[in-house]
A = this chain, B = another copy of it.
Amino acid sequence: MTESPRHDGRTPDALREVRITRNWLDHAEGSVLVEFGRTRVLVAASVTVGVPRWRKDSGLGWVTAEYSMLPRATHTRGDRESVKGRIGGRTHEISRLIGRSLRAVIDYKALGENTIVLDCDVLQADGGTRTAAITGAYVALADAVAHLRRLGALKGEPLKDSVAAISVGFVGGRPLLDLDYEEDSGAGTDMNIVMTGSGTLIEVQGTAEGEPFTRAELNQLLDLGEAGCAELTRLQQEALAK
């Protein structure tokens, strides 16, 4: 592991500057503008009474998510999925990941037959949009749950834990935390880690973009990611305490 700083001056185990701005929208029951450096995701939590048809009369609530990117979030403009008439595989995959991650800390029974939809729209992308989205979505979800609590619409405490997520990867043979776009493009192995606030794992997705990786390398990345998620958990608590 070399000692040179990263292209933006960070140490290998440093997060980018993370900003979590609550109540960025006026209408949504919970809303967060979450920024990991130049990556900027707007998360809106929408509460509706009732659940999808397949879950009716179960007494259980539901939480789901949709991820999307504005056409000029990226360096060059991408076509809108609404114009193309179909949602791409990457969008589907990330929407599913975000929903799954949040559902892992939800007590459906305590939520009662209410549905919370988390819309995660990437306004600007500079790497790590899915992990920023999950991290911000938890805060918007917590606000939406608080809204339901104020209405007396809950059967208990639906949040069993908090959730945060971060990306890690090997770049130039060195394990780095919270890759930006430039680093991500050059990463050999790329991993996204989703963890609870109490330190257990919800999702581990590691992919060899270049060379396959060893168990030892996997463990290096997991160590980095655990520390990153712990720091994000602290920042979430701070934001929610305001």
Contacts and interface: CB of A to CB of B under 8 A. Distances in A.
A240 interface: no
A5 interface: no
A203 interface: yes
B124 A25 contact: yes
A205 interface: yes
A interface residue count range (under 10 / 10 to 19 / 20 to 34 / 35 or more): 35 or more
Interface string A93-115: 10110001000100000000000
10 contacts: A27-B72, A48-B77, A71-B119, A77-B117, A82-B82, A88-B92, A89-B93, A92-B92, A196-B212, A200-B214
Interface of A: 25-28, 31, 38, 42, 44, 46, 48, 66, 68, 70-77, 80-83, 85-93, 95-96, 100, 104, 117, 119, 121, 123-124, 126, 161, 191, 195-196, 200-208, 211-215, 218, 222, 226
